[in-house]
Structure 1
Amino acid sequence: MENTDNRQNITVQYCFPGYNSSCRKEVRTGPAYIFLFIVLSCVSVFTVFLNLLVIISISHFKQLHTPSNLLILSLAVADLLVGLFVMPVKIMQLMDSCWYLGKIACISSEIIVALSMSGSLFSFIFIAVDRYIAVSEPLLYSTRITVCKMSVSIVLGWSFCLLYIIIYYYFNDHLLQSQVPTECYGECVVFVKYSWVIVDLILFFLAPCSVILILYAIIFNVARHQAKAVRVIINITSHKVSSTSETKATKTLGIVVFVYLACWIPYYVSSLSLESITTVSMGWTVFTWILYINSSVNPLIYAIFYPWFRESTKYIISCQIFKPSSSRFKLLPEHF
């Protein structure tokens, strides 16, 4: 029951040799696939490590317990899910076409993928709203946006994402085990109806991204006018420091948002080119991996633009966070 195609370096076997309806599997053993496996595995480890640094930093150091940083924490949790669960599963599917964990696990893995992606998007929406209030109404920001309110908003956002995903897969006939379409035993293939691709495009791309882009257009316009005002009122030093800090934070988070959108646009453009989307198509695989790698890029942006991330990383790597008073270490100037 084995056949080897030496020209393509692909060994064809069966996922479950004891079943007559077993799928044929492709074990990719060529040098190119081995190199791809090593590279993607390193990306997965890198993603987990960097996002854990972000999560530990914001969770441990009290100075970082701010509403804006809670949004970065939410985004890091979504990125951690990608590196910890999504990437390893997708890497194994690239190397071995068989699915050995059953239909329920297949659906669960797709739900985790969708939850991490939608969780990231909602975090970006909240980031845009947070930056809009911080820049346009700086004097009211501390009263309108609190850690408690932000925590509730994040929980509600993730809950809405989970509810939407359950509805999405239910109406695609994938939540009931008997309704998962399989041609053979040992595959994990999710088909998405074209009508739901359109719904998803509107609800989870066009609408939220339009809101984000409009808010950031307003934010940068307000920031430009504030910068002019600060140059005029040069004697108000504290206001100048505060305005500079807010503007820098806004620009940094703006870079994160626009990198995210750049990764999503090819994904949706490709999804609109087909009437039926399958998770094993090559185009789908390439564009989804662009999305996954975005989870590795976000912490790198923090490392480049955020001094607190670099400082907290030093404390974490040197194990100084285990000191009794480490949570009160000063990572930032008092004016931040």
Structure 2
Amino acid sequence: RINTSYQLAAVQLCFENVSGSCIKTSYSPTARMILYMFFGFGAVLAVFGNLLVITAILHFKQLHTPTNFLIASLAGADFLVGLTVMPFSMVRSVESCWYFGDSYCKFHTCFDGSFCYASLFHLCFISIDRYIAVTDPLVYPTKFTVPISGMCIAVSWGCSVTYSFSLFYTGVNDDGLEDLVIALTCVGGCQAAMNQDWVLFGFLLFFIPTIAILILYGKIFLVAKHQARKIESTSSQIQNSAEKYKDRVTKRERKAAKTLGIAMAVFLVSWLPYFIDSLIDAYMNFITPPYIFEILLWCVYYNSAMNPLIYAFFYPWFRKAIKLIVSGRVLRNGSSEMNLFSEK
């Protein structure tokens, strides 16, 4: 009798004295503090890092280019992940309970999917932009203009938001999984079941643009390698001003393509394990242990914090913009006209 009462006391519920409450998984106080610090740091970095990217691009007129507007919109998706997804997922991951109501549970799931695919579609358009810029740098300004960049942004957001919200609000995601949903439903839970058809569709929606991006970046780096050799072979020869200008533009476009290629690689490393696991899970009767799923999920979330660090490491203009924003010099008259590029 004593042993039974001890076992009952050891089981913690998300909501005490509520019928059908989910069981709460407990961590030691030290482990909880470490997890909150790790997850919280990612959320703060995603919010403020991407806010710096958005502010820099929108404030400084020198940065008003089609590529940078795509980057600003991509940063907007990552900023929203840090603001509307990560803090709530942090509490759910550490406490193993959802305390924010059923309505926001569905919104949270929709936001998660929307911002993921928005990031992917932005990266896809950025790779097209970089391909045109590297292969034909002098004609590029007339091919990829600000209005075209705006259309790419609208398509990226429109498709991702429409797909995610229609999927989860119509309930087609769990068709055929009714028994599983009933078994897993409890007060304090927030899990979205996905049947095999929609998991496969979601994987293809990730996989096909990813393959297209990899092909484009493969071509970009082949062209960049050829251009670099050509420039080296002609550097010792006498060049006219037009040829020197073309070489300078080509080098700049190659550097931008390299930086954005690194951002793409980080995105793939963060997202691919999660999508592969989701696909395997759907066809293997959901065999992934909860802690593995949480690790993969937070690799995905942390991707939203990585891009500002990549830009800060590779873009001198971004480091200069950060200094101007943090010091408050952007509040001065005419600050938007400042020159952020050392070479002119």
- Code of the aligned partner of 1:266: P
Q: 1:218 to 1:211 in 2, by over 3 A?
A: same
The corresponding residue for 2:305 is: 296
Task: Say which is worse superposed, 80-89 or 264-273, in terms of deviation.
Answer: 264-273
Cα displacement string for residues 125-172 of structure 1 (whole angstroms, at most 9, x for unaligned residues): 011000011011222211111112201210121101111113332321
Task: Say which is worse superposed, 303-312 or 20-29, in terms of deviation.
Answer: 20-29
The corresponding residue for 2:223 is: 222
For the pair 1:311 / 2:320, whether they are aligned, the reply is yes
Structure 2 counterparts to residues 55-70 of structure 1, below 5 A: 55-70=54-69
Number of residue pairs the alignment of both structures matches: 324
Query: 1:254 aligned to 238, 253, 261, which one?
Result: 261
Q: Contact 1:12 / 1:25 at 8 angstroms: preserved in 2?
A: yes
Structure 2 counterparts to residues 19-168 of structure 1, below 5 A: 19-168=18-167
Cα distance in 2 between the residues matched to 1:195 and 1:47: 32
Cα deviation for residue 287 of structure 1 reads: 0.5
Structure with more of its chain in helix, by fraction: 2
Q: Contact 1:48 / 1:83 at 8 angstroms: preserved in 2?
A: yes
Q: 1:50 to 1:279 in 2, by over 3 A?
A: farther
Query: 1:188 aligned to 170, 187, 190, which one?
Result: 190
Q: Contact 1:266 / 1:287 at 8 angstroms: preserved in 2?
A: yes
Q: After TM superposition, where is structure 1 displaced by more than 4 Å over at least 4 residues in a row?
A: 179-182, 276-280
Please report the TM-score for the alignment, with normalisation by the length of structure 2: 0.87
The corresponding residue for 1:328 is: 337
Q: CA RMSD in A?
A: 2.4
> What is the DSSP-based 3-state SS (H/G/I as helix, E as strand, rest coil) of the residue aligned with 1:191?
coil
Q: Contact 2:137 / 2:249 at 8 angstroms: preserved in 1?
A: no
Cα deviation for residue 293 of structure 1 reads: 1.0
Structure with more of its chain in strand, by fraction: 1
Q: 1:328 to 1:82 in 2, by over 3 A?
A: same
Cα deviation for residue 217 of structure 1 reads: 1.1
Cα deviation for residue 310 of structure 1 reads: 0.4
Cα distance in 2 between the residues matched to 1:39 and 1:96: 14
Cα distance in 1 between the residues matched to 2:46 and 2:155: 26
Cα deviation for residue 25 of structure 1 reads: 2.9
- Code of the aligned partner of 1:59: L
Cα displacement string for residues 190-223 of structure 1 (whole angstroms, at most 9, x for unaligned residues): 111122111111122x201110011111111111
Cα deviation for residue 259 of structure 1 reads: 1.3
Cα deviation for residue 228 of structure 1 reads: 2.5
Cα displacement string for residues 64-114 of structure 1 (whole angstroms, at most 9, x for unaligned residues): 010111111111111111211211111101222222332221110011111
Q: Structure 2: state its 5+ residue gaps.
A: none
Cα distance in 2 between the residues matched to 1:4 and 1:96: 22
- Code of the aligned partner of 2:310: I
Q: Structure 1: state its 5+ residue gaps.
A: none
Cα deviation for residue 291 of structure 1 reads: 1.0
> What is the DSSP-based 3-state SS (H/G/I as helix, E as strand, rest coil) of the residue aligned with 1:198?
helix
Cα distance in 2 between the residues matched to 1:25 and 1:307: 47
Q: Contact 2:174 / 2:195 at 8 angstroms: preserved in 1?
A: no
Q: Contact 1:14 / 1:25 at 8 angstroms: preserved in 2?
A: yes
Cα distance in 2 between the residues matched to 1:160 and 1:277: 28
Q: Contact 1:131 / 1:250 at 8 angstroms: preserved in 2?
A: yes
> What is the DSSP-based 3-state SS (H/G/I as helix, E as strand, rest coil) of the residue aligned with 2:12?
strand
Q: 1:28 to 1:12 in 2, by over 3 A?
A: farther
> What is the DSSP-based 3-state SS (H/G/I as helix, E as strand, rest coil) of the residue aligned with 1:274?
helix
Cα distance in 1 between the residues matched to 2:75 and 2:54: 6
Cα deviation for residue 254 of structure 1 reads: 0.7
- Code of the aligned partner of 1:270: D
Cα deviation for residue 4 of structure 1 reads: 7.8
Task: Say which is worse superposed, 134-143 or 51-60, in terms of deviation.
Answer: 134-143
Cα distance in 2 between the residues matched to 1:288 and 1:244: 37
The corresponding residue for 1:243 is: 250
Cα deviation for residue 44 of structure 1 reads: 1.4
The corresponding residue for 1:271 is: 278
Q: Contact 1:11 / 1:28 at 8 angstroms: preserved in 2?
A: no
Cα distance in 2 between the residues matched to 1:186 and 1:258: 36
